[in-house]
Structure 1
């Protein structure tokens, strides 16, 4: 048996705001969308154009209150080829929520409060 990572899921309150954030912050783009026939949910899959892994954003029509993220210890991590440029971009966006300069990483927060780790690409 061989398993392969397919996607990570985040439930979001404002789908278009989240799609725009992931596009601007991480250059992730919609690769497919599934809408329930009754309009109760929409799934949007975002990809980086390089790997088969995707981020699934789930919007639920009846959800109005923010999701309880607990201690927010679960996160997505992305590597970037130009760490300094990414840091400057995220700083300008105002989405950096935590930095660990000793480890050479930082985290950004999406519109729903999910953390995303940014690490330099390994040589």
Structure 2
């Protein structure tokens, strides 16, 4: 028996804003969508150019307030083959929330406050 990663889920308050952020900041694109017949939720699945892994964004119609992530100590990590260009792009977007130059990494923050780690691609 073996297992493979399928996807991670993040709940989002404004689906369209989040889709635009993930497309601009990380180049992710939507590959499928599931919506409840009664309109109570939408699941949007995003992936990168490799399409080997998906990020599920869940929007709940009845959610009245933005999510309070509290001491959210989780994050997703993304690799890039051009840290300098990625950093410049994210700086221009004003979404960098933490930098660790000693480790050669930084984090960006999505519209809901989730931290996303940017790390250099290993050859």
TM-score range, shorter chain: over 0.9
Moved more, 68-77 or 33-42: 68-77
- Deviations for 1:45-80, whole angstroms, at most 9, x for unmatched residues? 000020421110000000021212122210000000
Q: Any residues of structure 2 matched to 1:104-115 within 5 Å, and which?
A: 104-115=104-115
Structure 2: 5+ residue stretches without partners: none
The Cα of 1:40 is off from its aligned counterpart by: 0.2
Query: Which 4+ stretches in 1 moved above 2 angstroms?
Result: none
Q: Any residues of structure 2 matched to 1:1-123 within 5 Å, and which?
A: 1-123=1-123
Please give the alpha-carbon distance, in whole angstroms, between the structure 1 residues aligned to 2:96 and 2:66: 20
Size of the alignment, in residue pairs?
123
Please give the alpha-carbon distance, in whole angstroms, between the structure 2 residues aligned to 1:15 and 1:89: 22
Please give the alpha-carbon distance, in whole angstroms, between the structure 2 residues aligned to 1:112 and 1:93: 15
Please give the alpha-carbon distance, in whole angstroms, between the structure 2 residues aligned to 1:80 and 1:121: 5
Please give the alpha-carbon distance, in whole angstroms, between the structure 2 residues aligned to 1:2 and 1:104: 34
CA RMSD of aligned residues (A): 0.7
Q: TM-score scaled to structure 2, two decimals? A: 0.98
